[in-house]
Chain A
Amino acid sequence: MTPTGLNTLVVDDEEGIRESLAAWLTKDGYRVATADSGEAALQCIARQIYDLYLVDIKMPGMDGIELLGRIKERQPDALVIVITAHGTVQTAVEAMKKGASDYICKPFDPEELSLIMERLAATKALRDENTALRQQLMERRDLNLEGIVAQSEAMRAIFATIEDVAPTAAPVLICGESGVGKELVAQAVHYASDRAHGPFIALNCGAQSETLLESELFGHEKGAFTGAVQARRGRLEMAGGGTLFLDEIGDIAPKMQVSLLRVLEEKKFQRVGGNQWIETDFRLVSATHRDLPQLIREGRFREDFFYRINVIRIHLPPLRDRLEDVPALADHFIGRYARETGKRILGLTQRALGMLTAYRWPGNVRELRNVIERAVVLARGQMIGAEELSFVEAGADACRLGTLTLQEMEISHLRGALETCGWNVSRAARQLDIDRGTLTRKMKRYGLQRP
């Protein structure tokens, strides 16, 4: 009966209680998040579902009893343990009547806490089927907005832009190297728009022959070409009321650009081999890793089409230019793959994190995702160490590896200074003889945080 992977939210306004409880649960294999108020807890719950809640009854603002009610409203089968201070058992009894699974008086006797948690794990085991369903739900959420990590200034600015432009119907062009998250941003645009309930239809234009691409986009009537034994709807039709995402738009031929331009202007089209006009209403989001202005100069991309699709442009910087996102992305993927493989993995060792933030990520977020997936599969313990990481370019460039080590050394030097100064940033900066702002920036960049 292991509590492996039980998602837990600890809600308490006292930092000491919150952190000690979280630490205790983590050692016992729970995945733990914390919130310092009822209101903060509700925000967490809006983003994710937890299996288990530990809730302090007495908190300023929304108290534990009210929070319990709100949790049970959304998630009637949630396991909630209320935490009380000695002498308020009366309230605890009230909480039990309202659906709490158990209560504990703080501070607890260690044996008592162990017993309650064991009992709970048993209850939880009986609900496994339920959990499986819930995890599926979480996976699905991952696919849209909830699963996007945006830690760096650059990514946050992009999300602010998305929120601004999503409600309009204007076409969006997303540029950036392969694997930076263009499709994810396209989805974010869709889900933040008033078309969110309509379909999100994606098509990669780079991977298709011209004829096939035409029929994929426009659909075809029966017998329109050899092999077209049945009439078929195209993506333009399927995207009606929703968003059409055309990836690698820089790869489509000028002739097809003309056809698409006409659809965008007239909002109607004909299937291949058909003569009926079909009306459609979709929002176009396109993406490319190519330099379109350059293609225009070379005569390979039409300027009029470019202006039509490039009304709003979002540029996604490569991962190496926003290394602050690396720790958060790594955590995000560790969480996902740990859940998928049912492994209990807490995170990265400091050295592993150092390696990740020092690498140049030619394959961007996709490469990071693959590295983490592999590491999770290989991991034998609860922490992913340097040994479990393998990079595309490892060893390919001795020169660069040299600089990596330098950066790793910087990270460990900074960490050492911070530790010596009890994580007092000003003091550490003085010791390192750099200014405070520089140190703060570096800490952010390398994900250095007070443990």
Chain B
Amino acid sequence: MTPPQDHAPSGEAARALAHLVPLGPVEDLYTEVVAANLQALMGLPSDVLPHRPLFAETFNEARRQYDAVRLIGRLAQAMPGPTLCLGLTGSDIGTPILTYVLGESQLGGRVALVSFFRLTAQGPEQTLERLAKVSLHEMGHVLGLGHCFAPMCLMRSPRNLEMIDETRPEFCNACRYEILRRVRLLDRMARGA
């Protein structure tokens, strides 16, 4: 994949199109790896913002986890647009219909959320790879992509961890084309063109 061209005047970094927000304790390495992947595979220049505490009011006592839908809503409020926003957390998240989710996102919207609570693998490398894949997938949704039915594509509906592990960190051609097209549009808008 070709990395995005940098149109910014020399000396000035490309303007971030996505903000990464660590929610609660998240190791810097995690956010850095995710940011690098968004940049490399989606062409999304991403800045890592300072930590924020999790929004306590979105905790569901009965389920002992955070409500992903409400958490995204609060995050969207706290981080006004137009920059896209990805929250990362080590806490467990679920939705009103699902006992847990690895990630959640506004389809064609602005905000996504990924939890590595259930991504932990034997080695840290595998955990990081899973985290990057789920983040790329959710940001794909934010850019408006639905699930893909190509056999090896990050936008496949991830049934379980095994499926995530066997998928290579790549989008199929159709999805990649769409992603780049939309990122280009975002970029143009950000520049006020």
Contact = CB atoms under 8 A, between A and B. Distances in A.
B is a partner of A: yes
Given A27-B107, A114-B159, A349-B144, A381 B98 contact: no
A23 interface: yes
Contacts of A225: none
Contacts of A16: 69, 96
Chain A interface size band reads: 35 or more
Nearest to A117: B157
Interface residues of B, number: 37
Interface in A19-49: 19-21, 23-24, 26-29
B81 interface: yes
B16 to A, nearest CB: 17
A385 interface: yes
B108 interface: yes
B99 A19 contact: no
Contacts of B185: 349, 351, 385-387
Interface string B174-192: 1001100110010001000
B98 A419 contact: no
Contacts of B58: none
Given A26-B107, A387-B185, A107 B94 contact: yes
Contact of B96 (A20, A380, A420): A20
B101 interface: yes
A20 B81 contact: no
Given A27-B147, A114-B159, A346-B108, A109 B98 contact: yes
Given A17-B96, A20-B95, A29 B181 contact: no
Contacts of A17: 96-97
Contact of B97 (A107, A380, A382): A107
B99 A346 contact: no
Which of B73, B81, B144 neighbours the largest number of chain A CB atoms within 10 Å of its CB? Answer: B144
A108 B98 contact: yes
A422 interface: yes
A106 interface: yes
B10 interface: no
Interface string A80-117: 00000000000000000000000000111111011000
Given A110-B100, A419-B80, A347 B147 contact: no
Contacts of B149: 2
Among A26, A108, A349, A451, which residue has the most Cβ atoms of chain B within 10 A?
A451
Given A107-B97, A108-B98, A381 B181 contact: yes
B146 interface: yes
Contacts of B96: 14, 16-17, 19-20, 106-107
A81 B109 CA distance: 29
Contact of B146 (A27, A113, A380, A412): A27
Most A Cβ at <10 Å: residue of B73, B76, B108:
B108
A383 interface: yes
A124 to B, nearest CB: 15
Nearest to A352: B185
Contact of B80 (A14, A24, A416): A416
A382 B94 CA distance: 26
A382 B106 contact: no
Nearest to A421: B77
Interface string B137-168: 00001001111010000000101100000000
A267 to B, nearest CB: 57
A380 B177 CA distance: 9
B82 interface: yes
Contacts of B181: 380-381, 385, 387
A195 interface: no
Interface in A236-270: none
A351 B189 contact: yes
B98 A347 contact: no
B160 A29 contact: no
30 contacts: A14-B96, A16-B69, A16-B96, A19-B96, A20-B96, A20-B98, A26-B146, A27-B107, A28-B146, A106-B97, A107-B98, A108-B97, A110-B101, A111-B159, A114-B157, A114-B159, A346-B108, A347-B108, A351-B189, A380-B174, A381-B144, A381-B145, A381-B178, A383-B108, A386-B185, A387-B185, A416-B81, A419-B80, A420-B80, A451-B109
Given A20-B69, A383-B108, 20 more contacts: A19-B69, A19-B96, A20-B97, A28-B146, A29-B147, A106-B97, A107-B63, A107-B95, A110-B99, A110-B159, A346-B146, A347-B108, A349-B144, A351-B185, A380-B181, A381-B178, A385-B181, A416-B82, A422-B76, A422-B77
List the 3 closest A-B pairs by CB distance, nearest first.
A16-B96, A381-B178, A383-B144
Interface of B: 63, 69, 73, 76-77, 80-82, 94-101, 106-110, 141, 144-147, 149, 157, 159-160, 174, 177-178, 181-182, 185, 189
